[in-house]
């Protein structure tokens, strides 16, 4: 069963058990919560049950709304859904998360979801505001620090991202994702030797040297990249990704040298007579 189908089935079952079927019509049908519901805070957070309003109607809890938003996100399938349709879905997701936060301003998954949604929309200022709100209320969530760091990385704020990953590793020192992101960001920030230490912990030495080399190629440091690719092959002479990339760089280097020699030759031949 596809993840999207599973998510929709879960939400459907929750809606059947809480009597909230009428809200599955999109964000326009989600009604505003009463002031008393916003004050309920974590009292309702632990339940998927609907909340009763003063006029006798029922409304979904923040946790249920967050699950609905997650299910809606499952409709985003790059390559199958047009960019315009993806943008529309993300906007609907944003509205659902905002509705959840009206019910419970401290709800972690809604804060996280809204921040990540803004990141995907490339509304980085709004993403950072929501990440910081979430971290102020949930500072011991290592994954939240990871996602915050990823958002900073997308803005090329490598110093800020490294601080975020470091905070996450203080909470969960064995977190492989945090360790890898720390290593890759160090490489992008011009600290390849430090990067090797973190990447070796998460993927082994041959892959660590290879990935640093690949990052150096990305930052147009081909000669230094070759150094790290050779070190990868010292660790494992049969490591195919390093062998292939090094061969490609060597071929490009030979072609560049040949072109340079040809240019010099042509320049000499075409030198004006004295």
Q: What are the DSSP calls for 122-181, one per residue? A: T-HHHHHHHHHHHHHH-TT-HHHHHHHHHHHHHTT-HHHHHHHHHHHHHH-TT-HHHHHH
pLDDT tens per residue across all 274 residues of the chain: 555 555 544 455 444 444 443 343 444 444 444 444 444 444 444 444 555 454 555 678 999 999 999 999 888 887 888 888 988 999 999 999 999 999 999 999 999 999 999 999 999 999 999 999 999 999 999 999 999 999 999 999 999 999 999 999 999 999 999 999 999 999 999 999 999 999 999 999 999 999 999 999 998 999 999 999 999 999 999 999 999 999 999 887 655 544 444 444 444 444 444 4
Cβ neighbours of residue 271 closer than 8 Å, sequence gap 6 or more: none
Characterize 179-214 residue by residue with b for buried, 16 or more Cβ atoms within 10 angstroms of its Cβ, and e for exposed: bbbbbbbbbbbeebeebbebbbebbebbbbbbbbbb
Instruction: Identify whether 230 is part of a domain.
Output: yes
Q: Which two tokens stand for residue 134?
A: 């979430």
Instruction: Indicate whether this model's pTM tops 0.75.
Output: no
Name the percent of the chain in helix, strand, coil, to the closest 5: 75, 0, 25
Count how many domains the chain has. Answer: 3
The SS3 assignment for 58 reads: strand
Give bridge partners of residue 59 from the DSSP assignment: 51
Residue 168: give its domain's CATH number.
Answer: 1.25.40.10
Residue 234: give its domain's CATH number.
Answer: 1.25.40
For residue 110, what are the domain limits? 86-138
C-alpha 75/C-alpha 72 separation (Å) is 6
If asked whether residues 255 and 208 sit together in one domain, one would say yes
The SS3 assignment for 75 reads: coil
Cα–Cα distance list, 128 to 95, 132, 144, 169, 270 (Å): 18, 6, 12, 20, 59
Instruction: Identify whether 57 is part of a domain.
Output: no
């Amino acid at each position: 069963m596809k993840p999207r189908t599973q998510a929709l089935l879960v939400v459907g079952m929750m809606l059947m058990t809480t009597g909230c079927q009428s809200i599955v019509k999109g964000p326009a049908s989600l009604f505003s919560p009463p002031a008393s519901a916003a004050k309920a805070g974590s009292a309702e957070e632990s339940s998927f049950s609907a909340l009763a309003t003063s006029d006798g109607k029922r409304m979904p809890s923040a946790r249920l709304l967050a699950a609905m938003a997650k299910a809606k996100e499952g409709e985003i399938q790059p390559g199958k859904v047009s960019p315009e349709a993806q943008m529309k879905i993300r906007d609907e997701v944003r509205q659902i998360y905002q509705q959840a936060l009206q019910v419970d301003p401290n709800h972690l998954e809604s804060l996280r979801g809204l921040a990540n949604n803004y990141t995907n929309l490339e509304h980085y200022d709004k993403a950072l505001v929501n990440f910081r709100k979430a971290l102020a209320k949930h500072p011991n969530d290592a994954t939240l620090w990871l996602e915050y760091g990823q958002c900073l990385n997308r803005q090329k704020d490598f110093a800020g991202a490294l601080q975020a990953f470091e905070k996450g590793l203080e909470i969960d020192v064995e977190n492989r994702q945090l360790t890898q992101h720390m290593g890759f960001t160090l490489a992008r920030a011009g600290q390849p030797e430090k990067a090797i230490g973190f990447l070796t912990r998460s993927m082994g030495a041959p892959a660590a040297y290879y990935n640093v080399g690949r990052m150096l190629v990305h930052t147009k440091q081909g000669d230094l990249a070759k150094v790290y690719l050779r070190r990868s092959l010292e660790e494992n002479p049969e490591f195919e990704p390093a062998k292939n990339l090094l061969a490609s760089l060597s071929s490009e280097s030979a072609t560049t040298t040949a072109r340079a020699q040809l240019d010099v030759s042509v320049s000499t031949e075409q030198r004006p007579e004295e």
